[in-house]
């Protein structure tokens, strides 16, 4: 008897739909997972939905279990939490996180799922991929005790970075965003907030996650001499200008990229891999303060319309959770 699941596909830029999918029979070393909830990674998935992935980045942007190719039709996504319905005894019945697209059920190797720790609800575990990006960014940034740090851009990634930095002893963290309503988010995460024009200067480190030219320019302006900007923004097919005149050279400033596609070389001299990084992210999600990063929810059947509204800017917020 065929196992039929349902999956969200981008049929063509700007147009999504739900398709039936016939699942393969699980082989030895594989699990069948029934999805409990998934999350929309707003920045990346909106970029994919509007067809904004540059052709030069088609390979780099592939999700682990993506089907189809950019710009479409393509099945894309990577924030999925489900329960193991079939598999080895140690995983059967466990809640797991997987970098799988939006789909009701799926079959993957056991190595592709990570058990969600006790005390982390499935509804919060959808943030694991975003918090993993923040973990990698902080491995790249290597903040020191007592550092003065600014995070520019209070979206999913920037807010996750700020939330983790709030745990560092004696670190002074300011979350900066052009939307004054994000002050409530900063308060929930336990960090200071400022509008761009009011942000504090002379910062040891600035983490930029606003995906805007103005945000990157402001990041450089806020640095102390020898300071570093960690660039987390993904601009897709957009070109931006970087102000490398003025005080950039005289103050010996640095702009460094951070990207979750590889584990930071600073992670204990390469002794930690992808599985370690994801496990750390899931442990950190035991903190209920991170619930503030989930700001919307819809049923799976509503996802095609919701993705169109998110991409058009009609449905603002942070992580949008999908119920199954």
Domain ranges of the chain: 3-127+285-323, 130-257
- Cβ-contact 161, 185 below 8 angstroms: no
- Using a pLDDT cut of 90, give the percent of the chain over it: 87
The mean per-residue pLDDT over the stretch 41-66 comes to 92
Cα separation, 176 vs 162, in Å, equals 10
pLDDT at residue 269 tops 60: no
Query: What was the pLDDT predicted at 209?
Result: 96
Pick the closest to residue 232 from 259, 203, 205, 213 (CA basis): 259
Query: What was the pLDDT predicted at 172?
Result: 97
pLDDT tens digits for 145-191?
Answer: 999 999 999 999 999 999 999 999 999 999 999 999 999 999 999 99
pLDDT tens digits for 250-261?
Answer: 999 999 999 877
Q: What is the pTM of this model?
A: 0.89
For residue 238, name the pLDDT band (cuts at 50, 70, 90).
Answer: confident
Q: Which CATH architecture has domain 130-257?
A: 3-Layer(aba) Sandwich (3.40)
CATH code of 3-127+285-323, in short, is 3.90.180.10
Question: Given this chain, do its domains 3-127+285-323 and 130-257 carry the same CATH topology?
Answer: no
Query: What was the pLDDT predicted at 1?
Result: 65
Query: What was the pLDDT predicted at 141?
Result: 95
Cα separation, 244 vs 263, in Å, equals 28
The mean per-residue pLDDT over the stretch 69-92 comes to 97
């Amino acid at each position: 008897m065929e196992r039929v699941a349902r999956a969200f596909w981008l049929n063509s830029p700007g147009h999504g739909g739900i398709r039936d999918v016939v699942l393969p029979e699980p082989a030895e070393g594989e699990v069948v997972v029934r999805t409990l909830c998934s999350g929309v990674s707003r920045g990346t998935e909106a970029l994919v939905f509007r067809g904004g992935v540059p052709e030069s980045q088609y390979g780099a942007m592939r999700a682990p279990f993506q089907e189809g190719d950019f710009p479409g039709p393509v099945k894309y996504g990577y924030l999925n939490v489900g329960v193991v319905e079939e598999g080895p005894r140690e995983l059967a019945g466990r809640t797991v996180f997987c970098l799988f697209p939006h789909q009701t059920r799926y079959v993957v190797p056991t190595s592709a799922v990570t058990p969600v720790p006790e005390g982390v609800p499935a509804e919060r575990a959808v943030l694991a991929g975003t918090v993993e990006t923040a973990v990698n960014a902080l491995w790249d940034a290597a903040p020191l005790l007592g550092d003065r740090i600014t995070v520019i851009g209070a979206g999913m990634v920037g807010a996750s970075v700020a939330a983790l930095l709030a745990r560092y002893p004696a670190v002074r963290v300011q979350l900066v965003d052009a939307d004054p309503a994000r002050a409530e988010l900063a308060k929930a995460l336990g960090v200071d907030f400022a509008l761009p024009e009011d942000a504090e200067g002379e910062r040891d480190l600035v983490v930029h996650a606003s995906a805007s030219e103005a945000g990157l320019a402001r990041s450089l302006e806020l640095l102390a001499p020898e300071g570093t900007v960690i660039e987390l923004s993904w601009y897709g097919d957009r070109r931006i200008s970087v102000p490398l005149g003025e005080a950039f050279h005289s103050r010996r400033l640095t702009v460094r990229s951070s990207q979750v596609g590889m584990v930071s070389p600073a992670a204990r001299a390469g002794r930690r891999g992808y599985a370690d990084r994801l496990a750390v992210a899931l442990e950190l999600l035991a903190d209920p303060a991170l619930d503030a990063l989930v700001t919307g929810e819809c049923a799976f059947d509503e996802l095609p319309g919701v993705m169109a509204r998110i991409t058009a800017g009609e449905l603002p917020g942070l992580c949008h959770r999908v119920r199954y």
